[in-house]
Amino acid sequence: MAESAKYYPPQPQAPASAYPDLPVKYGRDMLVLQVRDPWWIHSYWELKDRTLERLRRELKDDFAKAKRVLRVYDISFIDFNGSNAHHFFDILLNDHADNWYIDTGSPGRSWCADLGLLLADGRFITILRSNTVQTPLDGPSWITDEEWMIPDDLFAKLYGVGVGLGSSPMKGKKPWKVHLRGGISSGSPVRKK
């Protein structure tokens, strides 16, 4: 789109105070995951004051000493029951965080997350569970279909041609690694000033 590089001089802005704003909280419990790319997912959440209050009452002293944590589970190809993830990792949050970018480390997996409390004795209490997301692969699938088979080297050649790298054999035979590092994307006008 052109908007990215239309040359507009600075516009007079409406003063911040004149502008009504969106609510900071909607008064609901929610934890949502969305996918940014093969490696990164993004999470945003909100907790009702009531929910936190309930936990504070139930856990008493333990609550103050507990750490707020986002526990991210790799649940690829399984029906997740809360304890059968392939593995998980914890992200320590401060009390004011309401969203986080998560580096999952491996493309092409399924993820879900719990917002919870990690108690001093190691117990983890789930407050909310998110939806499940699936990250895309960062290269061609290793799954080949018998009925539509293609030899690897020919596929690599076609990949290269398809992404504008030409048809001569590539060093290392992995044109997708070159392709994703620099591409032609929308919104890039012909020449930026």
Partner 1 sequence: MHKGYLTLVLHSHLPFVRHPEHENFLEEDWLYEAITETYVPLIRIFERLLDENVDFRVTMSLTPTLISMLSDGLLQERYLRHINKLIELAHKEVERTRHQAEFNGLAQMYLERFYEARGVFEKYRRNLVLAFKKFQDAGRIEIITCGATHGYFPLMETTRESVRAQVKVAVAHYEKNFSRRPAGIWLPECGFYPGCDEILKESGIKYFFSDAHGVLHASPRPKYAVFAPVYCKSGVACFARDLESSKQVWSSIEGYPGDYLYREFYRDVGFDLDYEYIRPYIHPDGIRINTGIKYYRITGTGDHKEPYNPHWAQEKAAEHAGNFMFNRQKQAEYLFDCLGKKPIIVSPYDAELYGHWWYEGPMWLDFLIRKIAFDQDVIRLVTASEYLAENPRNQVVTPSLSSWGWKGYSEMWLQGPNDWIYRHLYVASQRMTELAKRFPLAEGLIKRALNQALRELLLAQSSDWAFIMGTGTHTSYAVNRTKDHLLRFNRIYDDLKVNNIDEGWLSGIENSDNIFPEIDYHVHQ
Which residues in 41-80 contact partner 1 (CB under 8 A)? 42, 44, 46
Q: Which of 103, 75, 79 is nearest to 87 (CA)?
A: 75
Q: Minimum Å distance from CB 71 to partner 1?
A: 19
Question: Is the Cβ of residue 82 or residue 151 nearer to partner 1 in the bound state?
Answer: 151
Q: Which of 132, 131, 126, 129 is nearest to 77 (CA)?
A: 132
Determine the Cα–Cα distance for residues 91 and 117; give it in Å rounded to an integer: 11
**Mask 90-119, x = binds partner 1 (CB under 8 A)?**
--------xx--------------------
Question: How does DSSP assign 160-186, residue by residue?
Answer: HHHTTS-SSPPGGG-HHHHHTTS---T
Question: Is the Cβ of residue 21 or residue 61 nearer to partner 1 in the bound state?
Answer: 21
The reply on whether position 155 binds partner 1 by CB under 8 A is yes
Q: Find the binding residues for partner 1 in span 25-44 (CB under 8 A).
A: 26, 28, 30, 32-38, 40, 42, 44
Q: Minimum Å distance from CB 58 to partner 1?
A: 27
Give the CA diameter of the chain: 68
